[in-house]
A and B are shown apart, each in its own frame.
Chain A
């Protein structure tokens, strides 16, 4: 996973290299609340009818002493049930610090886990956000892997997540 600031450039690089990849854009809304904490967010892939296949990213509070941040990972209820409780944390390249309100773009290359070795089929990108003293929201975006042609799909959250989009590059 790498964070890509210039999206256009990323597209160019991908096209040149001819490498399949997933690009996810996640908006964390700015909320006008008395006590704000950045949400915990998990992004993972599920195969239709076959459950979770792998985590793309988990953002949680890594700075607390004694790994206290892990205590709240169970609030990412679906991710915890599907994948989280089976993982030894932290996971290199997957777990990362929480992010500020704004739009975050993430690119996942096809030759790295969990996309490497992903069987062709119908999948869903699942995004779950849970905020301390706030709410929880989960969005799903279906996609086919590998893509026959570049495709983009989007979903929109109502309270804990803003606009989310997924671009699949063949």
Chain B
């Protein structure tokens, strides 16, 4: 009896774990995305959760946080703190124009055999040369690169902070990400290492999941130019995500998995 239960539990665990790992969503939630005035502040929540946009699972760690000001410079977030379910920080908007809030992280995973033993390792590219023992066999290294973003504009929208770096999976606005209105179509592009990311699936999920039964997600595919268009069904916060796997990273013989996530606000016209 107990053996059967254990087996059932194991089968359930195998079934459930990969699903729940995929279901988690990372996001920023800005206090506002369109701002006016002399000296406003932006407050941003950052979390990893199932439902959008509720902090109910884990805080997003802020170690990879980069806030880019309208002039392209990097500004330091203030009052950062990490609680049980969310992190939060403030950005003082001292310049007119568009700010980008991003968490850009990358890490390596390795699997190898040492004699009869299976081993796993996680770390950075710098640590890789010394991480795997000389006698290791069946070495598999994978690189994962994640970019989580949101945008906020004081005054007139600008594009300096959203210029792509040419590295990884990146979002390039055609329609400005702080000029989005329900019922209107917005156009964006995704680039992979600076080149059009064609044929990628983009998932668009409206926030407020807790109060409805269906996800109501839109699934779009990027065209040959990496472009995709979203006609916003309603005002609110939206979570956008795309991912791709390739072997074009900087680590030799490593598979690379790249994820892009953004929170965009759509206003009522």
Contacts and interface: CB of A to CB of B under 8 A. Distances in A.
A68 B37 contact: yes
Interface stretch (A69-77, A91-99, A145-153): A69-77
Which residue among A67, A77, A85, A86 has the maximum number of chain B CB atoms within 10 Å of its CB? A85
Interface string A79-110: 01100111000000000000000000000000
By size class, the interface of chain B is 10 to 19
B156 interface: yes
Interface in A103-130: none
Contacts of A72: 36-37
Category for how many chain A residues contact B = 10 to 19
Interface string B22-40: 0000000000101111111
A66 B38 contact: yes
A78 interface: yes
B38 A70 contact: yes
Contacts of B268: 77
Nearest to B181: A81
Given A74-B34, A77-B268, A80-B34, A66 B156 contact: no
Contact of A78 (B32, B37, B269): B269
A84 B36 contact: yes
Interface in B229-269: 267-269
Given A77-B268, A78-B269, A85 B36 contact: yes
Given A78-B269, A85-B156, A86-B156, A73 B179 contact: no
B155 interface: yes
A164 B40 CA distance: 33
A66 B37 CA distance: 10
Contacts of A78: 269
B72 to A, nearest CB: 20
Nearest to A84: B36
A77 B267 contact: yes
Contact of A71 (B36, B156, B179, B181): B36
Contacts of A77: 34, 267-269
B36 to A, nearest CB: 4
Contacts of B156: 85-86
A72 B157 CA distance: 17
A85 to B, nearest CB: 5
A71 B269 contact: no
Contact of A85 (B32, B155, B181, B269): B155
A69 to B, nearest CB: 8
A74 B269 contact: no
B38 A80 contact: no
A73 B37 contact: yes
B87 to A, nearest CB: 25
Nearest to B40: A71
A84 B156 CA distance: 9
A67 B179 contact: no
A67 B38 contact: yes
A67 B36 contact: no
Contacts of A73: 36-37
Contact of A74 (B35, B39, B181): B35
The 8 closest A-B pairs by CB, nearest first: A71-B37, A74-B36, A70-B37, A73-B36, A67-B38, A85-B156, A85-B155, A74-B34
Interface of A: 66-68, 70-74, 77-78, 80-81, 84-86
10 contacts: A68-B37, A71-B35, A71-B36, A71-B40, A72-B36, A72-B37, A74-B36, A77-B267, A80-B36, A85-B157
Given A70-B37, A73-B36, 14 more contacts: A66-B39, A67-B37, A68-B37, A68-B38, A70-B36, A72-B36, A74-B37, A77-B267, A78-B269, A80-B36, A81-B34, A84-B36, A85-B36, A85-B157
